[in-house]
């Protein structure tokens, strides 16, 4: 049984880690981009960002003053049990969000859309978002927080089968160019693309592709993996770099996730996970152990399953 005190304490540590520590995969990706960048202004920006990550860690202060919108992804092994149940879990995540907003400090961003009521703690109606998934075995829960930045860089479009890959590429480029100008998307970013599903799930897939997969990771479908490689190169060939200055660092990586859609359509969403790609992960085991990491490892074979029944993984797969 997992105690709610461990959940809350872990969640509060995750809020702080996400805000302050740039994940290794993104950091390495940005360092590589900084070496390859040859635009004077773009280079200056990338070097300043690298300096900023170091300053954040050294001072223990948030790397970006705009906290974005803190959100939670909770994944539960099929045997996981939490004392107090899911309601206690949600309360703990809301408390951790509010407390960390004061203690780090983070910017209290969340307000009522109409009345602009501000609780000064990033908690309110529907905030923070908490999403769930399950895995076939295990007594653990994974807590993932993402502080997703930005009012810009995300778009959705209903495409159709006849639009084909050429149409997908066009919308991808349109999104990068439109939001890349003046650096509104806070690029270079991890770009997530959602294809298929329905309008809402397409947006969810794209956001998760950007926020819950790491740099260098590839979709297990070989043909999609090839598209991911191709799209990364395409995005970096626009001629635009950081802040929309002349350069070639727009995309640190491109991740594509798909879902089955209506036979007549091909929904597409594009999401940019900004220069401060804030994510932190912990696994809480049934015996109370906590392991921290930065890879959400969200998209398992189970999450991407295609069949009616789930075939339990073989012993060999389990051990990996």
Partner 1 sequence: MANANGPRKINLSANPTPKALAELMIGDIVYLSGVVYTAREGIYARVLENGEAMPLDLPTESAANFHCSPAATQNEDGSFVLGAVTATASFRFSKWIGAWLKASGAKLIIGKGGMSPADYRDHFVPNGAVYLTTVGYGTGALLGRGVKKVRDLHWKAELGLAQAMWVLEVDKFGPFIVESDLIGNSLFERENARIAEGISKAYEGTRPAVLKRFGETDDRTDELI
The mark string for 136-155 relative to partner 1 (x by CB under 8 A, - otherwise) is: ---------------xx---
Name the residue nearer to partner 1 (CB basis): 97 or 298. Answer: 97
The interface region with partner 1, picked from 71-79, 80-88, 181-189, 210-218 by CB under 8 A, is 181-189
Taking the alpha carbons at both ends of the chain, their separation in whole angstroms is 25
Q: What residues between 251 and 280 interact with partner 1 by CB under 8 A? A: 275-276
Is there binding between residue 112 and partner 1 (CB under 8 A)?
no
Name the residue nearer to partner 1 (CB basis): 189 or 282. Answer: 189
One-character DSSP codes across 184-248: TT-SSEEEEEEEES-HHHHHHHHHHHHHSS-TT---SSHHHHHHHHHHHHHHTTSSB-GGG-BSS
Bridge-partner residues for 53, per DSSP?
Answer: none
Is there binding between residue 84 and partner 1 (CB under 8 A)?
no
**Nearest to 11, CA basis, from 68, 73, 65, 102:** 73
Hunting for tokens 């996400």 — which residue is that? 18
The mark string for 25-64 relative to partner 1 (x by CB under 8 A, - otherwise) is: ---------xx-xxxxxxxxx--xx-xxx-xx--x-xxxx
Tokens of 242: 């950081």
Q: What residues between 156 and 175 interact with partner 1 by CB under 8 A? A: 157-160, 162-164, 166-167, 169-171, 173
Is there binding between residue 14 and partner 1 (CB under 8 A)?
no
Q: Which of 4, 88, 133, 234 binds partner 1 (CB under 8 A)?
A: 234
Tokens of 260: 């089955």
How many other C-beta atoms lie within 10 A of the C-beta of residue 111?
A: 15
At closest approach, how far in Å is the CB of 63 from partner 1?
A: 5
Is there binding between residue 83 and partner 1 (CB under 8 A)?
no
Q: Which of 26, 72, 73, 245 binds partner 1 (CB under 8 A)?
A: 245
Residues that bind partner 1 (rule: CB under 8 A) add up to a total of: 74
3-state secondary structure of 17: helix
Is there binding between residue 105 and partner 1 (CB under 8 A)?
yes
One-character DSSP codes across 81-118: -BTTHHHHHHHHHHHHHHHHHHHTT-----B-TTT--B
Q: What residues between 189 and 228 interact with partner 1 by CB under 8 A? A: none
């Amino acid at each position: 049984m997992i105690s709610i005190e461990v959940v809350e304490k872990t969640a509060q540590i995750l809020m702080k880690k996400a805000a302050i520590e740039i994940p290794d995969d993104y950091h390495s990706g940005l360092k590589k981009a900084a070496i390859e960048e040859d635009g004077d202004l773009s280079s200056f920006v990338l070097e300043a960002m690298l300096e900023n990550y170091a300053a954040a860690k050294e001072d223990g202060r948030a790397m970006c003053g705009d906290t974005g919108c803190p959100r939670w992804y909770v994944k539960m092994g099929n045997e996981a049990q939490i004392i107090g149940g899911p309601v206690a879990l949600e309360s703990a995540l809301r408390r951790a969000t509010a407390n960390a907003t004061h203690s780090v400090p983070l910017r209290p961003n969340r307000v009522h859309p109409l009345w602009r009521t501000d609780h000064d703690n990033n908690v309110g109606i529907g905030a923070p978002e908490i999403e769930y998934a399950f895995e076939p075995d295990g007594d653990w829960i994974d807590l993932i927080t993402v502080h997703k930045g930005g009012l810009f860089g995300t778009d959705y479009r209903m495409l159709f089968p006849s639009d084909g890959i050429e149409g997908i590429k066009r919308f991808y480029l349109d999104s990068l160019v439109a939001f890349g100008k003046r650096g509104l998307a806070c690029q270079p970013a991890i770009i997530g693309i959602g294809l298929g599903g329905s309008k809402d799930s397409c947006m969810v897939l794209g956001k998760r592709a950007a926020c819950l997969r790491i740099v260098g990771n590839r979709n297990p479908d070989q043909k999609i993996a090839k598209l991911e490689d191709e799209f990364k190169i395409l995005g970096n060939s626009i001629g635009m770099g950081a802040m929309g200055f002349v350069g070639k660092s727009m995309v640190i990586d491109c991740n594509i996730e798909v879902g089955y859609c209506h036979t007549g359509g091909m929904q597409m969403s594009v999401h940019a996970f900004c220069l401060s790609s804030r994510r932190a992960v912990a696994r809480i085991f049934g015996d109370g152990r906590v392991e921290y990491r930065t890879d959400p490892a969200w998209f398992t074979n189970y999450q991407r399953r295609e069949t009616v029944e789930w075939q339990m993984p073989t012993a060999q797969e389990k051990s990996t």
